[in-house]
Chain A
Amino acid sequence: MRYSGFQVIKQVLTGHRGWIPAWRDPEPKAHYDIVIIGGGGHGLATAHYLAKVYGHRKVAVIEKGWIGGGNVGRNTTIIRSNYLLDGNEPFYEFSLKLWEGLEQDLNYNAMVSQRGILNLIHSDAQRDAYTRRGNAMILNGADAELLDAEQVRKECPFLNFDDARFPIKGGLAQRRGGTVRHDAVAWGYARSADGYGVDIIQNCEVSGFRIEDGKCLGVETSKGFIGAGKVGCAVAGNSGRVMGMAGMKLPIESHVLQAFVSEGLKPVLPGVITFGAGHFYVSQSDKGGLVFGGDLDGYNTYAQRGNLPVVEDVCEGGMALMPMIGRARLLRMWGGVMDMSMDGSPIIDRTPVDGLYFNGGWCYGGFKATPASGYCFAHLLAQDEPHPTATAYRLDRFRTGRMIDEKGVGNQPNLH
Chain B
Amino acid sequence: MIIPHPLLGPRDSSEFVYLGDASLIDRPDWQAENAAEAFYDYAYLRGNPAGEHHELWYHEGGDRSWLVVTRNTVTHEISKVELARDVARAQGRSK
Contact = CB atoms under 8 A, between A and B. Distances in A.
Contacts of A241: 48, 50
Contact of A298 (B18, B46, B47, B75): B18
Contacts of A253: 20-21, 46, 48
A254 B46 CA distance: 10
B74 interface: yes
Contact of A303 (B14, B43, B73): B73
B13 interface: yes
A244 B19 CA distance: 22
Contacts of B21: 253, 300
B53 interface: yes
A79 to B, nearest CB: 28
Interface residues of B, number: 25
Interface in B2-45: 13-14, 18-21, 37, 40-41, 43-45
Contact of A249 (B13, B46, B50, B75): B46
Given A299-B55, A301-B73, A302-B74, A251 B46 contact: yes
Q: Place the interface of chain A in its size category.
A: 20 to 34
Interface string A240-277: 11001000011111100000000000000000000000
A303 B75 contact: yes
Contact of A411 (B1, B44, B47): B44
A301 B13 CA distance: 15
B20 A414 contact: yes
A5 interface: no
Contacts of A251: 44-46
A300 B1 contact: no
Interface of A: 240-241, 244, 249-254, 298-303, 307, 309, 342, 398-399, 411-414
5 contacts: A244-B48, A251-B44, A251-B46, A307-B13, A414-B20
The 9 closest A-B pairs by CB, nearest first: A240-B48, A398-B44, A249-B45, A251-B44, A302-B50, A309-B14, A298-B18, A299-B18, A399-B40
